[in-house]
Amino acid sequence: MSEFKLQVSRRQRSTPYTPRVEALGVSGYSVVNHTILPKGFQRTVEEDYWHLKTHVQLWDVGCQRQVELRGADAARLTQLMTPRDLRNAEIGQCLYAPMIDENGGMLNDPIILKLAEDHYWFSIADADMLLWAKGLATGMALDVRVDEPDVWPLAVQGPRSDDLVARVFGEQVRDIRFFRFERYPFQGHDLVVARSGFSRQGGFEIYVDDFALGTYVWDALWQAGDGLELAPGCPNLIERIEAGLLSYGNEMTRENNPFECGLQRFCQLDGKLEYIGKAALLEIAGKGHDREIRGLLFDGDACPAPQYPWPVTIDSKQVGYVTSAHWSPRFNQNVALAMLDRGYWDESTAISVRSGDGLQRNGVVTALPMEEQ
């Protein structure tokens, strides 16, 4: 079988860090927001999982493109796009926020960074939001500029992240609170450094605001890694599933509403808060949602990666579908995220999964995140 190679053009953008990850032996890519995302570095997913949970990794997450809103109506447009109440948001805060359409369907689930009262970044998941925001701003004649800035996030993840980032940006980074950011100087730039990231192992995301600066920031962090077992990495599928971190396009699409994704706490339904899709969410909340994301543990040898939803059944009746799955070396079983029907999502409910290799596997429903069990 011939080796598959992703052909990268301007439609599938590289990042400032691509030369560095290529030199470090990246073994594959995915494409997120029309930008390549490294998916492995000559280690198994299991080896990478243990390394992430023990040491520190440097991730090229330049694919987390930013949608920038700036101007007198920036706060209004930001609020119109999410059911999360942002009225008390503070400058320097990172806010996880579902974004929905007029029917309550999920469009994205970015981290919103409030840079100033009239300046916001949406650090988006894999779904186009730039044109949605531009269309709303134009159609409503809002005084706001909507753009994609020259910003390329770089993540440092793992339990030794504080040690690494402090060596480059100073000991004060240890004082950054979870989902907050500060600005620190680097070669004439004040870079946003946030305590956040797509894992539950702790870490930072550094928002490099100049493509040409990217390799310098990477090199500074890489050279500071002596004694920390620093390695290149990427979001780890096993850790993501166990942590209950949802991936847009896998766990949710426009066909799902925030309640189905377990995001009720980010939906303000009371009061006079104005946002697109509120009437739809009120109707769904009144009737009750019919399905919801849960975790699964199921037996058998290591399962393949789902290329399509796998049916979850009870007594031959389909009651949901698996969205993501992998073998877990911690649980010594397969772990999965699944969208399950009401009445079948209670913890410890016995289920069966028909995996992509055609095997029928027995398992149980679990709470999320799995680490808390």
What integer pLDDT is reported at residue 7 of this predicted model? 75
Domain boundary among 181, 211, 240: 240
Residues 33 and 174 in one domain: yes
Q: Is the pLDDT of residue 5 over 70?
A: no
Q: Are residues 320 and 198 in the same domain?
A: no
Whether the pLDDT of residue 373 is over 80: the answer is: no
Has residue 284 been placed in a domain?
A: no
165 plus 117 within the same structural domain: no
Burial of 232 (C-beta count, 10 Å sphere; 0-12/13-18/19+): buried
Question: Are 160 and 55 in a shared domain?
Answer: yes
pLDDT the model gives residue 1? 38
Write down the pLDDT at residue 11: 86
Confidence of residue 361 (pLDDT cuts 50, 70, 90): very high
Q: Work out how many domains the chain is built from and give that number.
A: 3
Tell me: do 154 and 54 sit in the same domain. Answer: yes
Write the burial class of residue 138 (CB in 10 Å: 0-12 exposed, 13-18 middle, 19+ buried).
exposed
Whether residue 213 lies inside any domain: the answer is: yes
160 and 234 housed in the same domain: yes
| Domain harbouring 76, CATH code | 3.30.70.1400
Task: Specify the CATH number for the domain of residue 204.
Answer: 3.30.1360.120
Looking at the structure, do residues 357 and 219 belong to the same domain, yes or no?
no
Domain that holds residue 165: 18-64+150-240
- Residue 11 domain-assigned? no
Domain containing 333 — which CATH number? 2.40.30.110
pLDDT in tens, 300-331: 999 999 999 999 999 999 999 999 999 999 99
In terms of domains, do 308 and 368 share one?
yes
Residue 274 lies in a domain: no
Among the candidates 147, 173, 205, a domain finishes at 147
- Average the pLDDT over 27-44 and give the result: 95
Does residue 2 surpass a pLDDT of 50?
no
Residues 59 and 178 in one domain: yes
The residues, ordered by sequence, that sit 6+ positions from 112 with a Cβ below 8 Å of its Cβ are: 78, 82, 86, 89, 94, 95, 96, 97, 120, 121, 122, 123
pLDDT in tens, 61-91: 999 999 999 999 999 999 999 999 999 999 9
Domain-ending residue, one of 96, 115, 147 = 147
What number is the average pLDDT over the span 9-38? 94
- 90 with 129, same domain: the answer is yes
95 shares its domain with 141? yes
**Domain check: are 173 and 60 in the same one?**
yes
Of the pLDDT bands very low, low, confident and very high (cuts 50, 70, 90), residue 371 is low
Percent of the chain scoring above 70 in pLDDT:
98
Distance CA(194)–CA(223), nearest Å, equals 21
Kindly tell me if the per-residue pLDDT of 160 is higher than 80: yes
Phi, psi of 4 (to 5 degrees): -80, 135
**pLDDT attached to residue 296:** 98
Q: pLDDT by residue (tens digit) across 263-286?
A: 999 999 988 899 999 999 999 999
